[in-house]
Amino acid sequence: MNLGSAARGFIALLLSVPALQLNGEWRVNYSSSNVCALRGAMVHLGCTYEYPDDVQYRSNTVRRLWFTKVSNEQPVDLEHDADYTGRVESGCGVVKCIGSRCHGTCTLSIRDLRQSDSAVYKFMSNTNQPGGEYPGDPGVKLSVQDLQVKVSFPHPTDPTHAELECHSRCGLADDPAYIWFRNGLYVGQGVNYRAYIQSADSFSCAVEGHNLRSPLVYGPQQTSVYSSPSGEIEEGSSVTLSCSSDANPAADYTWFKEHEVSVKESGQNYTITHITSDFGGNYYCQAHNAIGVHNSTFLFIKVSSSSHTAMVAVRTIGVFVFTILLLAFFCMRRKRASRRACGQGGRADTIEELLPVSVYENTSDLTNRLAPAAQREPIEEQDVFDCASNYTSLSENQEVPYCLAGSHAQSEQADAVFYSVVKNKRPNAVPGE
């Protein structure tokens, strides 16, 4: 058998289970109810149909088509389906009438098969008579498969000595000529290939002379790990570690903690509930399949105790309160200096702003203000009486002037009221003085 005939023998496997559709006097018979074909190959689907040899059918237009989809309750002709553009061909032979029955054949060819082409294909006849539609149920089920590389280890004690087999799930009747590639380079021919493998290797098989190649098989790579939630974990809560890796066949995962030999967990996810400080440290996952092994980088888990969290909260509140008090203290000093400057004939709006004073220089003053009344030191009133000694009597209806720059005229009435309030609210003397 030459290579061309061998290729035709494995491109599609037709299971000889006919499917027959009876619709009144119309009949459709498929050559197979199930077809398996390789991705990238070409497949041929066929059917025969028959109908009565009657004048009414001969005088009417008959339209024949293949379809997989229905739109607005109407079948979509594959030759007009965008998913099959340039890849399908259909045709029907000459109708022959024998006795009272007419017979015809139709075929559908699909090339460059894709995984998405796996579907049920039906043949349909349309006439221009009312209700003259005759879909051929149940149709043909097409399954598109890849070539597969199967990896095994004939010597369990030697995990580097592997045997690779190229096969198809379609169960092809003929043995085509398979070739092998290692890291993209041709390395041999045959159904099987034996090799000493390393984690960085990749393998694939193909059908010689045809664009039919298996997917690559390779060891894990780009292995990474992350946690949810991320960041610092509070003691008593839960955290889930997740691992991912690019590998074919799919990788299995094992979890480890730095400086510990024992396995912590198996599986793509590792969940720690009711976490304590003992769980803190570096974690990593190991991805492994038949080809190789690959470890992720470290993920550091930091566990904070509840007392530490409370201390941080108290510290934050204390800083906030102290800042508010400090701002209030500076504001009071500024107002006091402003009134004193106004009382000496200066402009209130041109008073030089006080420079910030060291916190430690004002600690006693601030402490005195916050102490209970009985423990406060006497408030110095020298400035108050100096200003009060300059007051003059004003009538109740006399307008009070504002403090003007370069002038000794002042709002004496307003200041008198202010200082009288201060004087009246003066703290009592400390007992014993």
pLDDT tens track for 32-76: 889 999 888 899 999 998 877 765 555 555 678 899 998 888 889
Q: What is the DSSP string of 248-293?
A: ESPPEEEEEETT--S--EESSEEEE-S--GGG-EEEEEEEE-SS-E
Would you state the pLDDT for residue 51? Answer: 77
Q: How confident is the model at residue 325 (pLDDT cuts 50, 70, 90)?
A: confident
User: In the numeric block, which tokens belong to residue 260?
Assistant: 């510990």
Residue-averaged pLDDT of the chain: 75
pTM for the predicted model, two decimal places: 0.58
What confidence tens digit (pLDDT) does each residue in 161-193 have?
Answer: 999 999 887 866 566 789 999 999 999 999 999
Cα 216 to its chain centre, rounded Å, is 25
Between 290 and 386, name the one with better pLDDT. 290
What confidence tens digit (pLDDT) does each residue in 88-118 have?
Answer: 999 988 888 888 888 889 999 999 999 999 9
Distance CA 107, CA 45 (A): 6
pLDDT of 85 strictly over 60: yes
Q: Please, what's the b/e burial string for 269-282 (b: 16 or more CB within 10 A of its CB; e: otherwise)?
A: ebebeebeeebbbe
Mean pLDDT confidence for 290-300 = 94
Q: How confident is the model at residue 226 (pLDDT cuts 50, 70, 90)?
A: very high
pLDDT of 409 strictly over 70: no
Count of positions (residues) in the chain: 433
What confidence tens digit (pLDDT) does each residue in 379-399 have?
Answer: 444 443 343 344 334 444 444
Distance CA 260, CA 255 (A): 11
Q: What is the DSSP string of 200-257?
A: T-EEEEEETTSS-BPPPEEEEEEEEEEEES-S-EETTS-EEEEEEEEEESPPEEEEEE
